Amino acid sequence: MTIVGVARDAKLRSVDGDAESTIYVSMAQAPPVTMAMLIPHIAGSGSAAPRIAQVVHSVDPDQPV
């Protein structure tokens, strides 16, 4: 693999845990089995789920959300 950059330690398992070292690999070289996103949301502003599904489906209509 070729190193193309260096990033700060990241919080990957939870937002309240410690940051940890990790590596990022091109999805073309090693597609993930699953993917997760952390999306900021203001409590009491209603459900963000429909908008998130809309955005994901605008990129890939067959992607399960």
The 10s digit of each residue's pLDDT in 9-52 is 777 777 787 877 777 777 778 877 777 777 887 777 778 888 88
29-63 burial code (b ≥16 CB/10 A, e <16): eeeeeeeeeeeeeeeeeeeeeeeeeeeeeeeeeee
**Would you place residue 54 in the very low, low, confident or very high pLDDT band (cuts 50, 70, 90)?**
very high
Determine the pLDDT at residue 57: 93
Quick check: 61 pLDDT over 90? yes
The pair of three-digit structure tokens given for residue 34, joined into one six-digit string:
């699953």
